[in-house]
Amino acid sequence: MFVELLIFLLTFLIAYYLYFYYKIHDFFKKRDVKFVPGIPMFGNVFQSSILKKHLWEDVDAVYRAFPDEKYVGFIEGTVPVILIREPTLIKAITVKDFDHFVNHKDFFDKDMEPLFATSLIQMKDDRWRDMRVTLSPAFTGSKMRQMLPFMTEISKNIVDYIKDHPSNESHVDDLVRRYTVDVIASAGFGLQINSLKDRDNDFFRLGSNLFNFSYKQRVVEFLSNHCPIIGKIFGLKLFSQETMDFFKNTVRDTISYREKNNVVRPDMIHLLMEATKGTLKDSDNEKDDASFAATEEGLKSRNVTREWTAREITSQVFIFFAAGFESTAGVITMCIHELALNPEVQEKLYQELRNFKEEHKTLTYENLSKMKYLDAVVTETLRKWSIAIFMDRVCSKPYVLPPPREGGKPYQIRPGDIVYNMVNSIQMDEKYYPQPEVFNPDRFSDVNKANITPTTYVPFGNGPRNCIGSRFALMELKVLISDLVSNFKILKSKKTSDPIRLHHNDFNIKALGGTYVKFEPRTYNLVY
């Protein structure tokens, strides 16, 4: 069946291309928008589609092609997109004029992947607003304090494992993903899992399967984005039924058990149960100084009470798992890789951790934020290796962009048009960050971060549609990095790539060839 599908697909796409390809080029020319001509059927994402480059490299090539333009044309497959390069325009679209650009584009058809389609990321308009307001109290600083003990316990498991398994070369990608899946299982689902001992547990096995895309899955993903009608005809699914059933059943059974037995545990399942009942309130009154990178909640309630379906509740837990597992793991892994390549940064961080330990006997949510250099290291990692790439938005009300250059003409964005507000490319632009390839946490010292151009640092997004889980991710990152640096020197091994290049066969941020380092026990380690 799959061979027949491929033949049908190729025939359809060739005809599809012949009609639309020249139309798209003409589309940008008529509107006086500069663009890079695309490849038939692939547009500007040919290299990443055939796994020769990472998606960001394809996008960045268009970003850098016209350095004096405020925005340029980008061709994604056969879809014209406006790629926004200018920070003030990005701020206008994502904050000031947000009501014109409320929604994300559809990444997955609701019939092909209903759990993704009904998640917060894919919800639209007022339904999204109401769900966001419902969930926001679950992600405040006061709720994150309750999650910290889960993270510190699992981080200790990682440290103990490394000590008990000395090696000249540790596979960091694997270690960190076992940490993040255990954190999500504990802090999210209330399940005690040790993926270092039970190495093939269902959470780790099925979670890994979500992101290890086969060629078949890539074809299905392409269809879901560009030709969803074909996916419906053939009944295609991006993820296995086993994976989807596991998460649905786990959430359903956990909620059912807790309701029947009056079980209360301060984890994400409990918070989401309370949030969907409308009984969870934001108790944060103090200023939350979690991190320079943390996002702020700016959305106000419409004072509308909704009844959320079981599928919608399950979808929020599922997307929390999906985002918290792979995305956070990628950033942590890159941070460890950078520390191995930059021993002077690592030593400065260790000295801060040592001084911190002398002053504070216990790691808490409040004093975690007092480690300024740790925050700078994490912030610099997110600058250089942000997972966002761009902030996609779909126009819902007509909007006029100013001319892309002096002497140009304004651009009319119509409802349904897609814009990509750049993240990675701006954060790696020498115009805003001198020597962007250099890993330099001092960019984010108290003195220097005040000079950063607004909206040139948005790793967790910007405006009301920013990442709701930024505080959770930052805390998860800081806990493990502080434990590792406190107990080990992170050293280059024979397989440590230098410089880091992105893995092509991956949608996430991952080093080409993987991340390998040597963990050398410190003679004076720090234990909280």
Distance CA 57, CA 480 (A): 29
| Residue at token pair 């139309």 | 23
| Residue 353 and residue 526 in contact, taking contact as beta carbons nearer than 8 Å | yes
Same domain, 91 and 140: no
| Residue 175 and residue 158 in contact, taking contact as beta carbons nearer than 8 Å | yes
Binding-site positions for heme read 467
Residue 200 counted as domain residue: yes
| Residue 460 and residue 328 in contact, taking contact as beta carbons nearer than 8 Å | no
Q: The domain that contains 517 carries what CATH number?
A: 1.10.630.10
Q: What pLDDT shows up at residue 426?
A: 98
Same domain, 323 and 221: yes
Tokens of 426: 């701006």
Residue 527 counted as domain residue: no
All residue ranges of the chain with pLDDT < 50 are 286
418-422/79-84 β-pairing: parallel
Q: How many domains does the chain have?
A: 2
Of 402, 422, 442, the position where a domain reaches its end is 422
What contacts 478, CB < 8 A, 6 or more positions away? 368, 371, 374, 375, 378
Distance CA 281, CA 136 (A): 9
Q: Name the amino acid, one letter, at 302.
A: R
Same domain, 40 and 140: no
Of 376, 405, 422, the position where a domain reaches its end is 422
Q: What pLDDT shows up at residue 363?
A: 87
Distance CA 389, CA 56 (A): 6
Strand residues in 69-196 grouped as ranges (E): 71-76, 79-84, 170-171
pTM of the predicted protein model: 0.90
Torsions phi, psi for 520 (to 5 deg): -105, 120
User: What residues pair up with 57 in beta bridges, in sequence order?
Assistant: none
CA pseudo-torsion sign 423, 513, 332, 431:
negative
Residue 526 counted as domain residue: no
Greatest Cα pair distance, the chain, in angstroms, is: 69
DSSP states of 138-166: GGSHHHHHHHHHHHHHHHHHHHHHHHHS-
| Residue 286 and residue 118 in contact, taking contact as beta carbons nearer than 8 Å | no
Same domain, 200 and 88: no
What contacts 472, CB < 8 A, 6 or more positions away? 139, 144, 147, 187, 324
Tokens of 186: 């504990």
| Residue 425 and residue 60 in contact, taking contact as beta carbons nearer than 8 Å | yes
Q: Where in the sequence is the domain holding 40, given as residue range(s)?
A: 1-117+389-422
Same domain, 454 and 417: no
Say how many C-beta atoms besides its own lie within 10 A of residue 502's C-beta: 17
Whole-Å CA distances, 356 to 13, 284, 352, 359, 368: 59, 25, 6, 5, 9
Residue 32 counted as domain residue: yes
| Residue 504 and residue 512 in contact, taking contact as beta carbons nearer than 8 Å | yes
Residue 528 counted as domain residue: no
Distance CA 361, CA 354 (A): 11
Residue 284 counted as domain residue: yes
Closest by Cα among 453, 503, 426, 487 to 70:
426
Closest by Cα among 145, 146, 121, 141 to 297:
141
Strand residues in 348-502 grouped as ranges (E): 390-394, 399-401, 411-413, 418-422, 488-492
Q: How far is CA 137 from the centre of its chain?
A: 20
Same domain, 69 and 204: no
Q: Name the amino acid, one letter, at 179.
A: Y
Same domain, 438 and 415: no
Binding-site positions read 467
Same domain, 207 and 297: yes
Of 400, 422, 444, the position where a domain reaches its end is 422
Same domain, 205 and 76: no
| H helix intervals, 286-436 | 310-322, 328-341, 343-359, 365-368, 372-384, 424-427
Same domain, 361 and 398: no
Same domain, 212 and 348: yes
Residue 399 counted as domain residue: yes
Same domain, 259 and 274: yes
3-state secondary structure of 459: coil
